Structure 1
Amino acid sequence: MTRLIHLSDLHFGRTAPELLDPLLRAVNGAKPDLVAVTGDFTQRARRSQYRDARAFLRKLQASWMAVPGNHDVSLDNLWLRFVRPYRRYRRFITEEMMPVKHLPGLTVVGFNTVDRFRWQRGKIRWLQMRHACRIFSESKGLNVVLAHHPFEQDPDVEKSLMRDADQAIERLSECGAHLVLSGHLHRWRTEPFLSRKHGAQVLQVHVGTGLSTRLRGQENDFAILDLDSHSANIRRMIAREDHFIEAERRHYSFGDKGWERSPEWPPRAPQQADPVAAQGVGPE
């Protein structure tokens, strides 16, 4: 079993400071094999905000990987935005714009979905898609994609979905992707994509914001994923005063029909959660 933590939309520059230490305690206490951060480290891509983001990453006790979000390129400095959009991201976070991690039974590939010419809407980079598919073709375990922008969203979401997002999911299904971790919308969603050709071959885990005050009617949260070759145990952790507790858990099994939710790992109500056990210390 491999454990991932999925964080997104930290938005340094507009955070709830009282959640910073509780989030670090919860993440480090879960003892993950990898922390995956799906973009929007900053609110306005300013140096001071990037310094805070880098300080946060340095306090993580596990390996981490990341992709940029639309807030990680400058909005008000047009020269930076259009000429050197990732200059500060590369300096303070990572030089890797398509990171790849190989863990026991798991391959994780990060996509850059930021479009410097549009503030909100992301874009598919098909060269990255082809490269990811080549990597997945050589993998013998679960294949995971990180992307800031979602490939599917609820009808009531006002933000525009990425162009060709449905075609991208079809392609990911064809080339062996099993999970997509994303952010951007500041809301939780965990369920399989329904590919027209391939059924429920790809599972989406969409988290909200770990630290930001920019909430969308939901709590600050992150996800703990325990993964093996045929199953995904997913826990939603939400902020409660000075700690994070487990609010929801789901178990999915992968078989001939793709991902199917199993009743063997039932949801747990937030008020019943043990804030110590919910930090994910030790096996389930």
Structure 2
Amino acid sequence: FTAYDVINALKSTRIDKLVDHRDIILPQLAAVGIEAKIIKEETGWNVIWGPVYAKDLPAFIKGGFQKTEEMREVKFSFMQRMEMAIAWAFPISIIVALTAFLLKSSILPLIALAWTTPILTLAIFPLYSRWLTRGVVGFIVTTLIPWSILSLGLIICYISVERITLIELFKFIMISLAFILTLSIDLAGITPTYRSAMFERLKVIINNSKCSGCGICIDVCPRGCFELNKERDIVNIKEQEKCIQCGACIIQCPQDALSFKRLNGEVIPPEVIRRYRLNFTGKHTIRI
């Protein structure tokens, strides 16, 4: 939803007649698409960016609307990874089942492999996640680690189950490699904690002459990339590599002190980001 959806909700419900304040809490991750400045100008309501996860709202409110680092940062928990694994496994298993049926091949082992591969790949995600954005080397590492573990499991099955032949073992290992290669094409890009390794790399830059040190960028960044320089009363980028290029900091900066910069030196100004309502996690590229 956009700022105008929030504005319409505020006006249509006439909530200003029911409360004696003008503060509205919005989910932090909505900062990518909602401009707090527009809401303030149109309605007089002040946007407070709440925590990433709704479960932290009681503590956030009790703490005087102050977020801890834990509340700010997006995570990729085991349960979230399993949800994604199921989302991958279901369509893959259908395709595998249809293919096996047409080829008159054994269906159940292939379906089991179709489910095991994404579940294992995402279950051990923390083991190889640091390599996700390291180009070809990262792609090889993130492919080999889950494939090696899965191959080891298949070899153990071969040793323990006498009915599996060497040819079948080799076939399953190659099929598992195909599955993992498919998953690894842009595994970073489908996670909430890493930018895509396949698309344009952008760098967030700060115009120190414009920065007022308000800290809004710190408040909306889901990866903790910024820190406040109290001596100079400006914000610094402490961990550029953690940036997932969501653009929330640029969209929300009231001083227009932040921009994206391409590797060729071209700067994408904040008005362009806002105009197209795009984030740059790797899913989109634009030309000015």
By the TM > 0.5 criterion, same fold? no
Give the TM-score band, short-chain normalised: under 0.3
TM-score (norm 1): 0.26
Task: Report which of the two has the higher share of helix.
Answer: 2
Task: Report which of the two has the higher share of strand.
Answer: 1
Quick one: higher RCO (CA 8 Å, sep 6+), 1 or 2? 1
Larger Rg: 2
TM-score (norm 2): 0.26
